[in-house]
Structure 1
Amino acid sequence: MGGHTNIDDDVPPPEYSQVELELQNADETSASASETRDDGRIDLNTQSRLFKTLSRVVDRFPRKGAYDEPPPYEKFDSRQFALKLNIVIQVVGSRGDVQPFIALGVELLRHGHRVRLATHDTFAGFVRESGLEFYPIGGDPAELMAYMVKNPGLFPSMKSLRAGDIQKKRKMISEILDGCWDSCIQSDLVTMRPFVAEAIIANPPSFAHIHCAQALGIPLHLMFTMPWTSTKVFPHPLINMNMANSSIPVGHANRVSYLAVEWLTWQGLGDVVNSWRKKLDLEPVPTSEGPMLAETLGIPFTYCWSPSLIPKPFDWPPHIGVCGFFFRDPPSYEPPPEIATFLQNGPPPIYIGFGSIVIEDPAKLTTILLRAVREAGVRAIISRGWSNLGGDSAYLQNKDVLFIGDCPHEWLFQHVAAVVHHGGAGTTACGLLNGRPTTVVPFFGDQPFWGAMVANAGAGPHPIPQRLLTHENLAAAMKFCLTRDALVAAEALGNKMRSESGVRNAVDQFHANLPVGELQCDILKDRAAAWRYKKGKIPLKLSKLAAEILVESLKVHPDRLERYIPRPIVIDPIRWDPVTATTSSLASTFKGMVVSTSDIIIKPVQVYQRPTTGTRNLSSYTSDSLDPIEQPTDSGSTTTITTEPSQNVQSKTQNFGAAVAGSASGVGGFFKYFFKGMYVDMPLAATEGLRSLPKLYGGEVREIGLITDFQSGAKVAGKNFVDGFVDGFTDLVREPMRGGREEGALGAIRGVGKGSTNMVAKVSSGMLGLVAYPSHGLAKTITAAIHTTTVRSINRARRVEGQYLVSNGQTTTDELLVREFFDNLQS
């Protein structure tokens, strides 16, 4: 699905580590490697080249911890949490995906936070009615659902390829990425109240989350209803692992399945994400880091399902939690007469609904449902949903079936005998919470996973993939749901779930993972710091409000306010050993030089190949493109607008200038790649490769910290130098002793080899790092000094919000506190 598009020619390609070289050779997605099943999952063959490559790679990703049993949750009382934040919640998906986050947002409001929910435009009313702020990120969820129904797996069908669905989806993702960034710094589109995010909560399909958090330097917390973190306990819900005749441990294969999904997703959208990152002045994410990025960065993650249904896997570290399903407060609802009458005139019906799923042939599905209801001998309430099941009026005469529009599940599920639906996490949770046996008819995504979980708990039959749905198997499933065994299992699950507080637990986990000390303003402790200001030798972290109070009282000049980054995110390639590290860095440098050299010739040719006559759409007419234009007329025909001779001369002059500029950029790119590669990238790769070498045979390597600028680079260089010499010479003694203690004489001999290797690697890394790390930091400093557009927009938005808080808020007490604190500091 990939291919690099929309990336300007002067963007350096991402560095190639050995992982990247292996992954790029693992482009085998044919039937021998993987096949798409009817339920949308991917059959991954453990004998395939793809699996073998990913299998080697997966163990190289650092694990934050592994445990014999799940680590206990940290006790955290959110009532003691005083910090009030601007939180943006970014959600991509259907109404069922959005609704749980509305419940979360309302709970965050109760803790004093300002909450903005950023999602698709169609949910604006749904969000605002709950009391949350709303920001549109674009994208059409109905179109997205239709695409997913046609392409339930990771690979598009030929029908979708012919229809151009892939390009439409990529365009939609680009729109969503832009919308997510705007949701972080733009004012409310209705009230015009300024807003700058101080923390982000997101579901993984929103894609923009990590990159927005990196640009802003703020905390990120991911939440989802579907397993997205690698574990040995079960495979990724989108993967069906073919373990036939395989000697590979199941736990290892399960971990590989998560990397497989992430890698295939990155192959399809990585270029779109990197093109967008350039707009934020962020460097491209290397192919080796794109997959599993959240795991390698240790991003906190909360899974919104009941631990009674799926316990937390033993190998998930403490910053990953399972909190319980999210349920909003039951809405006040009075059923219309037709629903109330239907419920009163017979035994409890079975609910059937597929929510936001956009079905290709709703009439065919309606026929299947009606025949199944008749064969099972039950009554049914069928939700029309986005597919408008039941059409207009043809089925309204059936006394045992009622077609309905929108109706809150929280109310309706109390009055039905069982539920049949697509297996969305929210609908599944609501049915089980009310003790209703459940039949899942999955279409795509995590729906087969939830169907399997319900069946494993005994609360429903095995899921029926929608492509295999018939009136016979659906009738049998309905009959199963009415058995005593299914009812007892569903009621048992419901009792356990009612004792859980999923939303409150999620807020507790969100608060527990926040770096409160780094976030807090030094004066107004309940507000997040946005600026750094140095008063003499005393550094201060100032909130937007505190800073603006000091600016308006003429105690601080605004030019002396520096943007504060409470949670920096650095995405650098992971290096495994000095040989592959330097080789991959050299390959990346050479590739950049070759591309830049070709640009010296290709760019001028591209300029002169622009058409100067012909017809085009008026929307493409710009000041630097003076070609004839095709002007649509009222009758639908077109009119050609011909340029004057003087305009043609001007166009040729502009083309000549563009050609020269393009050629010059190629020359500049050549020297940029050469000098950066030789003096920054390759020394850094060798240093990191040497430092990481002991990991290859189970050795320990110290963390050295993040490099964000020259100062942090120099600090890291000093630390690595000291650690390298101390640990290197210590290992000469420690490793033989450890080996002898664990394995006897043979272990001692191995320990001598390990100790000697460690000494050479760590000492060499320490010495080489004295040059490499400061150079790397200096390169980042220069890049930041050149690319300032995003920083300026963030600073401007923070100032605007600070001014709004001073002019529109009741800040008398805060003003007195800020001025008194600052005056005492001066004295």
Structure 2
Amino acid sequence: MRVNVIAAGSRGDVQPMVALGVGLQRAGHTVTICAGDDFEPLVTSHGVGFVPAGLRIDELIASELGVAWLGESSRSPWHELAAMRRLVESTVEGYAGAWVPLVGSADLWVSGFLTVHAVDAMVAVGGGRHVTTEFAPMRPTREGWAGLQPPLPRRSSVANRVAGQALLRTVASVIAVAGDEARVEMGLPRTGRRGVLDAVRRTPALLAASPTVVPPAPDWEGNPAVTGYWFLDDDPGFVPDARLVSWLGEERTAYVGFGSMSTREARPLGELVARAARAAGVRVVLHSGSAGLESHDHEWVQAVGAVPHGWLFPRVSGAVHHGGAGTTAAALRAGVPQAVVAHIGDQPFWGRRVWELGVGARPVRRHALSVEWLTEVLRGFARGEGAERARLVGNGIRREDGVGRAVELLTTCVA
């Protein structure tokens, strides 16, 4: 079976697709992933075919549009949506130019949620089956635990479903821009938000999350199917820096990092982390990430570049992060407490679920991050708060085979 995977977005959107691609190839299928040009090494190093999207995501993240969305949207959902729309509009020609030539080249198409509209049209023109993937629950539901922004998160209520429908319509109006550009290139009319919603309704979906963390909502009626997380094995050739190994070996250390979230405040943010580490008496591994975070306090903070979470997280007392789906999943699998500083999108949801599950501290939004909050979180890590619950959840997640379950469902889909 020929499988094309359309993976728009940052590493958190691409890496689980690579894990899925590896699983499909092990099952005997031929897989090609279309993603940002800078992800070619990640994809091809795992033996999966690659098609460049014609733009670099790292450059987009560092751009004015990227910083405005990722680093400056946490105060206002309306600012976030407007910034996201501007960013999407800046990429549509590049993405559509890469996607449209692939029409007719696969038996199965796997889209992300951001590309469900475009791939729906490509399948209508060139054939094949289509399954979309979600890395956070996007379907409306009565159940607070499974709603992205439910007004009653601890209850089952029609109000939660109504809120979910409103959120889906709002997001659809933003992601329709890319799908409509692809439709125009294929000679089809624009369909706007309605086309996105129609594509979502008729397309089977896989939710790449643990059912322990997101139990399937009854009113989803099996769509999406909750498979478990899609973890990509760490690079077997990874060799950690000797200074980092020494730093981690001396005493239990916490992790702080915000992944691909860019910012104009890298220096003050690094200083905030250092002040909290010193006040808490807890040393910190600070991931520089897309923001370029660093600290001059080398007694309490060790700045690092890219280090595989699968190697690092089991070696720390706890992880403070932005709440990306992949980072949250990695901390859950490692069985360590965590705390989320949510910037955009689904990150508040993951922060809330971490807290509700008892494996982490109450989350904050990026604009509300303070030395006081971070100091108390680090002290909680040192006291072992949430550690036993995190260990139990981690044991369960490590027993799941999300990729295997997804491959099984995808194979059934095209049988």
TM-score for the superposition, normalised by structure 1: 0.47
Deviation at 1:295, TM superposition (A): 4.1
Question: Is 1:434 aligned to 2:353, yes or no?
Answer: no
2:226 maps to which of 319, 322, 338: 322
- Cα distance, 1:237 vs. partner? 5.5
2:286 is aligned with 1:366: no
1:113 aligned to which of 29, 39, 44: 29
Match of 1:296?
Answer: 201
Cα contact 1:238–1:445 (8 A) shared by 2: no
Q: Matches of 2:49 and 2:200 in 1, distance apart? A: 30
Alignment equivalent of 2:128, drawn from 218, 240, 244: 218
SS at match of 1:241: coil
1:412 paired to 2:290: no
Q: How does 1:750-765 map to 2 (within 5 A)?
A: none
**One-letter code of the match for 1:385?**
G
Contact 2:176/2:192 (<8 A) preserved: no
Task: Give the AA of the match of 2:166.
Answer: A
For 2:339, what is the secondary structure of its paired residue? strand
Aligned-pair distance for 1:178? 2.8
Q: Distance in 1 between matches of 2:365 and 2:226?
A: 27
1:138/1:253 CA distance change after superposition, 3 Å: farther
Q: Secondary structure at the match of 2:386?
A: helix
Offset of residue 235 of structure 1 = 8.1
1:441-493 per-residue CA deviation (whole Å, 9 max, x = no partner) reads 11001111011111001111111111000111111112223334400110010
Instruction: Find the aligned partners of 1:235 and 1:491 in 2 and give their Cα distance.
Output: 21
The alpha-carbon deviation at position 283 of structure 1 amounts to 3.7
Give SS of 2:246's match: helix
* Structure 2 counterpart of 1:523: none
Identity over aligned residues, as a percent?
28
Query: How far apart in 2 are the matches of 1:379 and 1:286?
Result: 50
- Distance in 1 separating the partners of 2:342 and 2:147: 12
**TM-aligned CA deviation for residue 141 of structure 1:** 2.8
Q: Secondary structure at the match of 1:369?
A: helix
Alignment-derived partner of residue 173 in structure 1: 92
Residue in structure 2 matched with residue 342 of structure 1 by the alignment: 247
Select the residue among 217, 223, 231 that pairs with 2:141: 231
C-alpha displacement of 1:239 = 3.6
Question: Once superposed, what is the RMSD of the aligned Cα atoms?
Answer: 2.5
Match of residue 162, structure 2, among 253, 256, 259: 256
Shift of 1:157: 6.9
* Alignment partner, residue 396 of structure 2: 496
Match of 1:597 in 2: none
1:151 matches 2:73? yes
Query: 1:155 deviation in Å?
Result: 2.6
Residue 473 of structure 1: aligned partner: 373
Partner of 1:457: 357
Instruction: Specify the SS of the correspondent of 1:294.
Output: helix
Flag the structure with larger Rg: 1
User: Kindly tell me: are residues 97 and 359 of structure 1, through their superposed partners in 2, closer, same or farther at Cα, counting changes over 3 Å?
Assistant: same
Q: 2:187 aligns with which of 281, 284, 291?
A: 281
Q: Which runs of 5+ in 2 are unaligned?
A: none
Match of 1:141 in 2: 57
Partners of 2:118 and 2:180 within 8 A in 1? no
Residue of structure 2 equivalent to 1:200: 109
Secondary structure of the 1:441 match is strand
> Corresponding residue for 1:100?
16
Deviation at 1:252, TM superposition (A): 2.3
1-side partners of 2:201 and 2:245: how far apart? Answer: 53
Q: CA deviation at 1:112?
A: 1.2
| 1:135/1:183 contact within 8 Å kept | no
Distance 1:178 1:257, change over 3 A: farther
CA distance 1:227–1:359, change in 2 (3 Å): same
Q: What is the aligned partner in structure 1 of residue 42 from structure 2?
A: 126
Secondary structure at the residue paired with 1:496?
Answer: helix
Question: In 1, distance between residues paired with 2:338 and 2:77?
Answer: 27
Aligned length: 405
Amino acid at match of 1:376: A
| Residue 167 (structure 1) shift | 4.7
Go from structure 1 to structure 2 and tell me whether the alpha carbon gap of 1:359 and 1:331 turns closer, same or farther (over 3 Å shift). Answer: same
The reply to whether residue 402 of structure 1 matches residue 323 of structure 2 is no
Q: Mark the CA change 1:432 to 1:177 in structure 2 (over 3 Å): closer, same or farther.
A: same
Q: Which residue identity is paired with 2:394?
A: G
Cα deviation, 1:406-460, whole Å, max 9, x if unaligned, reads 1111111121111111111111111111111001111001111011111001111
Query: Which AA in structure 1 matches 2:163?
Result: S
Q: What's the CA shift string for 1:474-524, capped at 9, x where partnerless?
A: 11112223334400110010011111111101111111222x2xxxxxxxx
Counterpart Cα distance in 1 of 2:14 and 2:315: 24
| Cα contact 1:120–1:136 (8 A) shared by 2 | yes
Given residue 479 of structure 1, which amino acid in structure 2 is its aligned partner?
A: R
CA distance in 2, matches of 1:257, 1:176: 30
* CA deviation after TM superposition for structure 1 residue 154, in Å: 5.1
* Aligned-pair CA distance for 1:275: 4.8
Query: SS where residue 326 of structure 1 aligns?
Result: coil
Distance in 2 of aligned mates of 1:265 and 1:284: 17
8 Å contact from structure 2 (residues 146, 214) kept in 1:
no
CA contact 2:144–2:150 (8 Å) conserved in 1: no
Q: CA deviation at 1:296?
A: 2.9
**Which residue number in structure 1 is paired with residue 211 of structure 2?**
307
From 228, 231, 235, the counterpart of 1:331: 235
Instruction: Write the deviation string for residues 768-793 of structure 1: whole angstroms up to 9, x where unpaired.
Output: xxxxxxxxxxxxxxxxxxxxxxxxxx
In the alignment, is the contact (CA less than 8 A) between 2:341 and 2:364 conserved in 1?
A: yes
Residue type at the aligned position of 1:155: W
Measured in 2, the distance between the counterparts of 1:208 and 1:280 equals 10
* Cα-to-partner distance string for 1:561-584 (whole Å, 9 max, x where unaligned): xxxxxxxxxxxxxxxxxxxxxxxx
- Equivalent of 1:351, from 235, 248, 255? 255
- When normalised by structure 2's length, the TM-score is 0.90
**Letter matched to residue 338 of structure 1:** R
Q: Distance in 1 between matches of 2:139 and 2:398?
A: 26
How far 1:139 moved relative to its partner?
A: 4.2
| Per-residue deviation, residues 190-210 of structure 1 (Å, max 9, x unmatched) | xxxxxx122111111124221
1:235·1:258 contact (CA, 8 Å) conserved in 2? no
- Mapped to 1, the partners of 2:364 and 2:87 lie a distance apart of 30
> Where does structure 1 lack aligned partners over 5 or more consecutive residues?
1-84, 186-195, 244-248, 517-827
Task: Please show how residues 15-26 of structure 1 align to structure 2 within 5 Å.
Answer: none
Structure 2 letter corresponding to 1:439 = A
- Does the 8 Å contact 2:145/2:214 carry over to 1? no
* Aligned-partner Cα distance in 1 for 2:146–2:226: 16
Is this contact kept in 2: 1:410–1:430, CA < 8 A? yes
C-alpha spacing 1:319/1:448, structure 2 compared with 1 (3 Å): closer
Measured after TM superposition, the shift of residue 262 of structure 1 is 2.9
Cα distance change, pair 250–290 in 1 and its aligned pair in 2 (3 A): farther
Letter of the aligned partner of 2:39 in structure 1?
Answer: F
